[in-house]
Chains A and B, each alone.
Chain A
Amino acid sequence: MRWISWAVAWMASAALPVAAQSPQLAPAARYGIVLDAAHGGDDSGGKLTSGQMEKAVTLAFNVRLRSMLSARGFAVITTRESDTTLPPDRRAEIANHAQAQACIPLHATESGSGVHLFVSSITPSRPTLFVPWKTAQSAWVARSLAMAGALNAALLHAGMSVTIERTFLPGLDSLTCPAVAVEVAPDRAQDGSVTAEPDDAAYQAKVASALAAGMLAFRSEKSEP
C-alpha cells in the first residue's frame, strides 16, 4: 500500500506547493541573500555589443556581488556557479528553499542606461499559510518595493542613473522573499554615448558596491519597529 502514501504526498505537493511563511516570522540566524545569475547553459540571454553573452556577464557579476555582500556579513546563496541551464521554476525552488531575507535575480542588457530595478507587477496580498506557487510573490510585494527603494537610493548616491519599474518576469512571481531583479545596462554620458559596458569590470564593481550598500540599508530598515 506504499503507492497510497506516494499518491497522497504527490497530491499534497501539487495542491500546496509553497508553505508560505509570513515575512515577519522566523528570524534567521544570518541574513541570507539569494543571487540568481539569470540565463545560463542553453539560454544565452541577450548579446552585448562586446560580443559577450548575457549569461556570462550575469555569472561574472554574480561572483563580484557575492564577495561584496559576503564581506558585509551577508550569507549569500547562489543559484548557479557555472554555465548550466536552470529553468525559472528550479531557480525559484532553490531560492525559496534557502528561506532568504532577499532575492536578487541578475540580468544585463545593451538597452537603456544605468541600472534597472524591477519588482513583480503581481497584485499584493496578505501572507497566508499556503500560497499558490505561481503567485507566491504577492505576499512579499510591499517588502520588494521597500527593497527596491533602498537599492535605488544607494545607486543614486553612487552617482548612477536608475529606473524602478514593475514587470512580469518568468520565475519572479514564485519567489517567497523580498525580490528585486537587477538589470545592468551600459553607463552612458549625457549624449547617450556608452562610457562603460555592462561587462566592464570596474563598472560592475561600482554597481555591486552600491547594491551591497543598499542591502545594508535595507537590512537595518527591516529591524526598525
Chain B
Amino acid sequence: MIPRYQKVLFFLLLAASLAMAGILWHLRTRAHQRLLAGEDSVPTQAPEVTAAEPATLVVASDADGSLLPQDRALPLPADPGTRARVLLGKLLDVYAAPDAAHPVGGGAPGIAQVFLLPATGDAAKAAPDAQTAVVNLTGSFAAGHPSGIETETLTVLSICATLRANLPQVVAVRFLVDGQERPTLAGHADLTRTYLTANAVPSGGSSQ
C-alpha cells in the first residue's frame, strides 16, 4: 500500500514536470520565431554612412581549384553577424559576375543570414572567444548552384576562408539552406558537417 503523502508528492512532481515541459516548449517556439524574425530586421545593404575599410575576399577559381585572397575596400557594418553576411554577399557577387573564374549564379541575395554562436566541442578549444558561423543559404542559391565535387567544394571552402580572413574568431562553419539542414549543396559537397576554417586556407593551383 502506497502512503497517501507519496501519492500526493508523485502527482505534485508530475504536475511540476509537465508545467516545466510546457514552459520549455513555449521558450523554444519563441526563440525560433525570434530567429526567423531576425531575417527581416537585419539591413540587406550596409549603411551608406559607413566608411570603406580593408577586407579580404578569398576567391575560388575552377580552372586550377585555387583559393586566392583578394584585398578590397568595403563599407562594412559594425555588427559581426551582419558584417559576415555583407562580406559573403560580396564574395557571391564576384561569382555571379560575367566571366567569373568560379561561375555561380545568384549573387549576394544567396546569403539569407549569418549567425555567430559560441563555438562548441573541439572548435571551442582554439580561443576563448571562438565562434561558429551558421551560414543560411537561400534555396534558390543552392538550386542554381552548378553540380560537381570541385565547384561545390570551392564554394564551401571560399566561404569558410573568407570568414576566417575577416573574422578570425570564427573557427567553425555550419551551413543551412532555407533554415534547414541539407545533405549536400548540389549533390556533392557535404553540408551536414561542421567545417573548420583552419582547414580552408588559401592555396595556389592545387595540382601538386
A152 interface neighbour in B63, B146, B207, Cβ under 8 Å: B207
B146 interface neighbour in A110, A118, A181, Cβ under 8 Å: A110
What distance in Å separates the Cβ of A101 from its nearest Cβ neighbour in chain B?
23
B68 CB–A CB distance under 8 Å? no
Interface residues on B, range: 20 to 34
| Chief secondary structure at chain B's binding surface | loop
B178 CB–A CB distance under 8 Å? no
**Distance A111 CA – B185 CA, assembled complex (angstroms):** 15
B148 interface neighbour in A107, A121, A149, A192, Cβ under 8 Å: A107
Chain A residues with CB under 8 Å of B150's CB are 109, 111-112, 116, 118, 163, 165, 183, 185
- Segment at the interface with B among A40-48, A62-70, A72-80: A40-48
Is B62's CB under 8 angstroms from A111's CB? Answer: yes
Is B147's CB under 8 angstroms from A54's CB? Answer: yes
Chain A residues with CB under 8 Å of B153's CB are 118, 165, 167-168
How would residues 185 to 220 of chain A score, 1 for a CB under 8 Å from any chain B CB and 0 otherwise?
A: 100000010000000000000000000000000000
**Distance A111 CA – B100 CA, assembled complex (angstroms):** 12
Is B207's CB under 8 angstroms from A170's CB? Answer: no
Is A169's CB under 8 angstroms from B65's CB? Answer: no
B190 interface neighbour in A54, A112, A164, A169, Cβ under 8 Å: A169
Which residue of the partner chain A has the closest CB to B65?
Answer: A163
B205 CB–A CB distance under 8 Å? yes
**Distance A165 CA – B103 CA, assembled complex (angstroms):** 18
**Distance A180 CA – B62 CA, assembled complex (angstroms):** 19
Q: Answer whether A46 and B65 are a contact pair too, CB < 8 Å, given A152-B207, A169-B188, A169-B190.
A: no
Q: Answer whether A164 and B207 are a contact pair too, CB < 8 Å, given A43-B187, A112-B62.
A: yes
Which residue of the partner chain B has the closest CB to A116?
Answer: B150
Is B207's CB under 8 angstroms from A107's CB? Answer: no
Is B65's CB under 8 angstroms from A112's CB? Answer: yes
B183 interface neighbour in A54, A113, A164, A170, Cβ under 8 Å: A170
Chain B residues with CB under 8 Å of A86's CB are none
What distance in Å separates the Cβ of A216 from its nearest Cβ neighbour in chain B?
21
23 contacts between A and B (CB under 8 A): A54-B187, A109-B151, A111-B103, A112-B65, A112-B148, A116-B65, A116-B149, A118-B150, A161-B63, A161-B207, A163-B64, A163-B65, A163-B205, A164-B208, A165-B150, A165-B206, A167-B149, A167-B188, A168-B190, A168-B193, A183-B148, A185-B148, A185-B150
Instruction: Please report A residues at the B interface, Cβ cutoff 8 Å.
Output: 39, 43, 45-47, 54, 107, 109-113, 116, 118, 121, 149, 152, 156, 161-170, 181, 183, 185, 192
Instruction: Report the 10 A-B pairs with minimum CB-CB distance, sorted nearest first.
Output: A46-B147, A109-B148, A163-B65, A111-B151, A112-B62, A168-B190, A111-B148, A167-B153, A116-B150, A111-B146
